[in-house]
Homo-oligomer: A and B are copies of this chain.
């Protein structure tokens, strides 16, 4: 593996850790906990892991000796910057407790546990991956650990390798499943602890004990870098509107954080669209109005940030898609028999009046995609819709109407972009490098102190790293009951953008000025070696959330 100059230099970086983890550690227990909602149901489902106290590690001069332990680790779901540092932290943590401890990685995600695909992660392997992006050290995958069969199959290999603790690094679903697994192994006295780590660039796994999920910081900084560059281009050429879509199916944290970093002319937040019950036409009209106002000042250029999941948050679109799914499921053959050129008209005729109106307002390409590209269950594939193109095209049409009505007199040309894969495997920022390593080291501490069903928790991260607070939170504390595929399931509540939270409030207070003025900020690329104020800042979201 040929390494870049930066990779070689960056390998030397020593992640910063809280003071409490520098020497011998002691557990300080908080009060017993409750799940965030549905306490009775959750308690019933997790009799062995419910109600445990939160945990905080504190410094002690008391030396503890730990037996050697074999630990397994799994990377679950989409990549996020810093995963390798979590694993390095676990490795150093368990070696620190006992030099004879061993770490095994299960390959290509949770499937590796079930299929018994693994490799031992030795010091020379770990050293190759310190402070690097990607999940390639053991790979990741999307298999869900949900069934007793999987748990039992996994246990076989855990027993064979004498693994006494398993760390699952993943998002909300994976941590929920980690909790179910912890409960099961405890219930059957399997002798295997299970610890979770909060990962996702989407930033939607957070609560009072989990300040942020790892990778969100780095990914947003990469997106903000390229958006900033586009904005500088936009402001130099002064002739394009750039429609920029960003990852985030369920929550708009990424779009919001990027907006706070780059100050675009507009940023759409799905949660606001849903709360205000905006229609697609409302959104288009809002954008077109900003375009027109800027054009009146001679500024025929600008930027709009769009969260990936937008379409599914527009109530009218949700209703339309639901009717489309339903109608097509029952009229597939009839639909197929209609000549291609008449299909859209056929659909329009058969929808309810309200949905027909929405459907007719869509550009032909999108309307066609909604009827033709369906998944194996026959459902419309919303994720295939190129929302950035859809909005650019519809804004163009709206502006043409406004021009005809004498309400707009500018030039409109657009460029579209989508950023996702560019950020998920970037080398972690100092923040994520430190945070991830500490999460891993903390997970080792939870293992050493015999915990199971906990998520590694590191807080106070807007302060310098030596003041960070490391510990564990019972996963059951974050659970509530939600309907999934028709069944009530215990799940970790997804953290959506709060419309009364400080980050959104900041956007709200400034967006009028950003829309009309050109107040672009150009963050530039992540720096690993420069001055503290350049290299060591957490996200704006976190700074605003934590500000007193």
Contacts and interface: CB of A to CB of B under 8 A. Distances in A.
Contact of A9 (B415, B528, B533): B533
B530 A133 contact: no
A500 interface: no
Contacts of A108: 238
Contacts of A426: 229, 232, 524-525
A253 interface: no
B524 A527 contact: no
A527 B427 CA distance: 13
A352 interface: no
A134 interface: yes
A463 interface: no
A481 to B, nearest CB: 32
Given A5-B534, A529-B531, 9 more contacts: A133-B522, A136-B236, A139-B237, A139-B238, A226-B422, A229-B426, A233-B421, A234-B421, A427-B524
A4 B528 contact: no
Contacts of A133: 229, 232, 522
Interface in A307-340: 340
Contact of A415 (B421, B529, B533): B421
A10 B524 contact: yes
A-B pairs, top 3 by smallest CB distance, nearest first, are: A525-B525, A529-B530, A232-B425
Interface string A391-425: 00000000000000000000000010100011111
A256 interface: no
B2 A534 contact: no
Interface of A: 1-7, 9-10, 78-79, 108, 132-136, 139-140, 222, 225-226, 228-230, 232-238, 242, 261, 263, 340-341, 415, 417, 421-427, 519, 521-531, 533-534, 537
Given A1-B519, A340-B341, A529-B530, A237 B79 contact: yes
Contacts of A525: 6, 222, 225, 426, 525-527
A136 B341 CA distance: 47
Contacts of A234: 421
Contact of A222 (B2, B9, B229): B229
